[in-house]
Amino acid sequence: MARILLTGGAGYVGSVCCTQLLAREHSVEVVDDLSTGFADAVPPGAVLHQVRIDDQEALSRVLAAKRFDAVFHFAAKASVSKSVLNPGPFFDVNIAGGILLLETLRRHGIRNFVFSSSAAVYGTPRVVPVPEDHPTEPVNPYGESKLIFEQILRTYAAAYGWSVITFRYFNACGAGDGWGERHIPETHVIPLLLQAASGRRGFFEVFGTDYSTPDGTCLRDYVHVLDIAAAHLLAMRKIGQPGFRAYNIGTGNSRSVKEIHKAAESISGKKIAIRSAPRRAGDPPVLCASPQKLLHEFGWTPEHSSLENILVGAWNWEQHQCNEMSAEDMRSSAIS
């Protein structure tokens, strides 16, 4: 059993990975400032510390209390479109805050680090599916912030003998029993489509219909968050081996926005109104992973990532949220 410190464990991917680590009887403590996460997303059995990653004094108190075998770093600002409009906060949190985190960890003798990176480090792919040795040429500040932090981690591995594993996520998605995506505001394709299907929003916007793709809309590689969590569990095998290693997490297949729209209508049984909108700055036309390195070295498979399974779980989660909102409205009416 390992003791893991997990930053961003109140967020979507972090909370699911936390649950899976606990299920394998690892000990998990979560550091999250709850600026975008939710305390109730942290699973029972994990200790939550409401601490910023750049608060070195508070983080030192957490690290001094117990010995941790590794850090899983999920905490970050994550939005391509927002990073284009206002890049400063992304560099502040993802790079400057990340360095303060690393220095605090170094003072406490922690040398095993698993980092949640992004396919955004590749920019507009020259080759599809994208392998890990593809040139890294981000086209938005979010991807730039992830790439810079990867480069910093590479130097820490070389200088201090750290064991660093970087996972470059493609499009994380999916939901399970009582959990799913909760972003405020929501920016991801699948929950936005299903919110339109449930009536929580009037329509779904398609940002760009003139890309050089078969139907003119962006192509993305959608991978279930449970499969992302499975990759992190497999990474435990290499913890303690010095060096920097990067792996894609994706399926090797991509779907267009229009394909996802059609499938969402089929799964929900609802007509989803769409409106065309201009392209968003920083969106490459195609992102599709080559997961061969992860498959070969870890024996990983994306067993939860069929589009039907992703959408069924996400639709159930959307209905759960609608029911929760209806119940809250009823309670408010009764009180008033």
Please say if 222 is a catalytic residue. no
Alpha carbons 18 and 16: distance in angstroms, whole number: 5
Please list, in sequence order, all residues whose beta carbon lies within 8 angstroms of the beta carbon of residue 336, skipping any fewer than 6 positions away: none
Residue 61 CB: number of other CB atoms within 10 A?
12
Strands 255-256 and 219-220: antiparallel
Half-sphere exposure of 221 (CA within 13 A, CB side): 26
Q: Give the closest residue to 139 by CA, choosing from 250, 245, 280.
A: 280
142, 156, 169, 222: the catalytic one is: 142
Give the containing element (helix H, strand E) for 317: helix 307-335
Please list, in sequence order, all residues whose beta carbon lies within 8 angstroms of the beta carbon of residue 45, skipping any fewer than 6 positions away: 22, 28
Active-site positions read 142
